[in-house]
Amino acid sequence: MSQAEVSIETLRKIPLFQYLNDEECRQVKEAATTQRFQTGEDVLQQGGRCQNLWIVLEGECEVIKLIGEGPRPKKIVLASLGPYDNFGEMSFFHTAPHSAAVRACSKLKLFRITREAYDQLIESGVGAAFKLAYNTVVTLAQRLRRMDEWVARLLSENGKENRVGDWKGFREKLFQEWNL
């Protein structure tokens, strides 16, 4: 790991840093590091615990969900990520084990913000921390909306319209069990 080797111009291209001014970009850059991974190397392991927010600067990686137990769980690729995509935000903002693994598909250069560095930005009253949280919420809302559309389409295409009630029950449970 090394101090973030990225320009302000590059940070401005990253959706999570939308609306940050030059000073706020500089503050985030000072709080971050860059880390490199080789092809096939794991960045995160499903079930692992660390509170880092990661942004892909160079290369590609996959988000992988392992389903099932035993020596050969089923591997499902949830997403392929490239430059300026982010991951790790769920564990970053909510302490919980990683819901999926992330593996490098090529040489990978990542921009990393630790939760400790983020908390220092908040304590310092740096506006960048609040804009970063806002932009992360927008990203998560977009992903949830896409998931809703995908599940509805999947239920409809597979002739499972009668299972829509199951989906409704899941959504109700999801929202009722949130403790805000």
Tens-binned pLDDT, residue by residue, of the chain (180 aa): 556 678 899 999 999 998 899 999 999 999 999 999 999 999 999 999 999 999 999 999 999 999 988 788 899 898 899 999 999 988 888 888 888 999 999 999 999 999 999 999 999 888 889 898 888 888 888 878 887 787 777 777 766 555 666 666 666 655 655 443
Res 144: pLDDT:
82
Domains within the chain, CATH numbers bracketed: 2-176 (2.60.120.10)
Q: Give CA angle at 83 (82, 89), nearest 5°.
A: 80
Res 170: pLDDT:
61
* Helix axis angle, 115-123 to 127-157, nearest 10°: 130
Asked if residue 104 lies in contact with residue 59, where contact means CB atoms within 8 angstroms, the answer is yes
Res 179: pLDDT:
42
CA 44 to centroid of chain Cα atoms:
11
Res 141: pLDDT:
84
**CB neighbour class for 90 (10 Å; exposed up to 12, middle 13-18, buried from 19):** middle
